[in-house]
Amino acid sequence: MTTSTQNEPLIAPPGLAGVVVADTEIGDVRGAEGFFHYRQYDATELAREVTFEEVWHLLVRGHLPTAAELDQWNDLIAENAVLPTDLADNLVEIMRRSGSDDPLVSLRTTVSALGALRGDRPLWDLDADAKEAAAIRTAAAVPWLVTAARQVRAGEPVREPRPELGVVGSYLWMVTGEEASEQHLRALSRYLCLTVDHGFNASTFTARVVASTGADLSACVVAGIGSLSGPLHGGAPSRALDALDEIGTVERAEPWARAQLAAGQRVMGFGHAVYRGLDPRSELLRETAVELGGPTADLAVQVEQEVVRVLDEAKPDRPLRANVEYYAGVVMQACGIPREMFTPTFAVSRTVGWTAHVLEQSRGRKIVRPSSRYVGQQPPQAVPSLDAR
């Protein structure tokens, strides 16, 4: 950042890259090191060792729960995962009337409606306990909102949550109609834990900006969903898997990658805005995909090697490696999640992170209000008459 005079605002680089805009205790991404953490713990180690519910507790309440705390926390999530019948019926009707085939459009509509029907109040007017309650009840409802909307679009019966299966098990039940195997539970839990938070990414920052205004919790989450809906943020898992389908065989990987680069196209699933080397999330998801097995996982590993070789040759000064989206689709598909549900599944996880950040942001009393730099014609100029325009 630079400034030309003491009285002028600082000028940030495009996209606010490298600019610190707030303090947080929730986590951090150390791109140069290929490392990220939630509070004081390595995020990839957490994904290996603990449940999604435990990570949720860590982000919201600041510490990993004891056994007794975990029981109470699981009960609290279960209590909020099943909506009252009249509320659920109203939301299903809204899903039917919305007519959108885009699952994120449906999600932001129903989260907004959920807040309105529940009478969400501005965060500015709530104490800490009421804010947390709003955060938990909203995040706990999202798995049902995304699965119910899909079933409504397909004209199928809406499956109810099964909280006794845990967040991951209940979600897979609502998506597939079957109780998941331990292998699938472990695989999807890893994915959800790895994606619950990732620094001040676009959607998290957006949610925090809205929270800084004192808006209600649902408004903050809707803002995050809107940001996530962009293909440069949350839409890549399905696109990366589409690319694997297009490639088909490992022999076609190199010419495909060269054609993408020659056309000036982004190679979906490779490169990251922060990491300049390995994405630690991708490493664990690669391992998970290999454990799940199957021809798609085998192809993904081989294609990754070929694409990285082409990218290294084309961009020797900027190493581009597989990012979290590359193997995310492989893992989710193996667990029975259809392609159109990849980004909504990301939203299930990231909503927990958004709400944790919203709670943290709402403890301050300062609105986020940066300046802009005007680059148009300089005023004042005389306003021309209508005939002169």
Write down the pLDDT at residue 360: 98
pLDDT bin (cut points 50, 70, 90) of residue 235 is: low
How many Cα atoms are found within 13 Å in the side-chain-facing hemisphere of 248? 5
| Dist. CA 32–CA 319, nearest whole Å | 11
Residue 230: predicted pLDDT: 84
Full-model pTM:
0.92
Asked whether residue 346 carries a pLDDT value surpassing 80, the answer given is yes
Q: Choosing from 132, 306, 325, 360, which is the catalytic residue?
A: 325
Q: Where are the alpha helices (DSSP H) in the chain?
A: 43-49, 52-61, 67-81, 85-98, 103-118, 128-153, 166-176, 182-195, 202-212, 217-228, 236-247, 253-262, 280-292, 295-314, 324-334, 342-362
Alpha carbons 196 and 346: distance in angstroms, whole number: 8
The structural domains of the chain, ordered by start, are: 32-230+339-362 (1.10.580.10), 236-334 (1.10.230.10)
In sequence order, which residues have a C-beta less than 8 Å from that of residue 206 and are 6 or more positions away? 223, 224, 226, 227
pLDDT in tens, 304-318: 999 999 998 988 888
pLDDT for the residue numbered 363: 96
Cα gap 262→250, rounded to integer Å: 19
Per-residue tokens: 86: 């009249």
- Where residue 17 falls among pLDDT bands split at 50, 70, 90? confident
- Residues 109-137: pLDDT tens digits? 999 999 999 999 999 999 999 999 999 99
Other Cβ atoms within 10 Å of 105 Cβ, number: 16
Query: What pLDDT shows up at residue 4?
Result: 43
pLDDT band at 45 (very low <50, low <70, confident <90, very high): very high
Are 207 and 222 in contact, with CB atoms under 8 Å apart?
Answer: no
Selecting among 57, 198, 272, 357, the annotated active-site residue is 272
Q: What is the pLDDT of residue 101?
A: 86
272 is catalytic: yes
Joined tokens for residue 190:
């890893």
Strand, coil or helix: 249 = coil
170-196: pLDDT as tens digits = 999 999 999 999 999 999 999 999 999
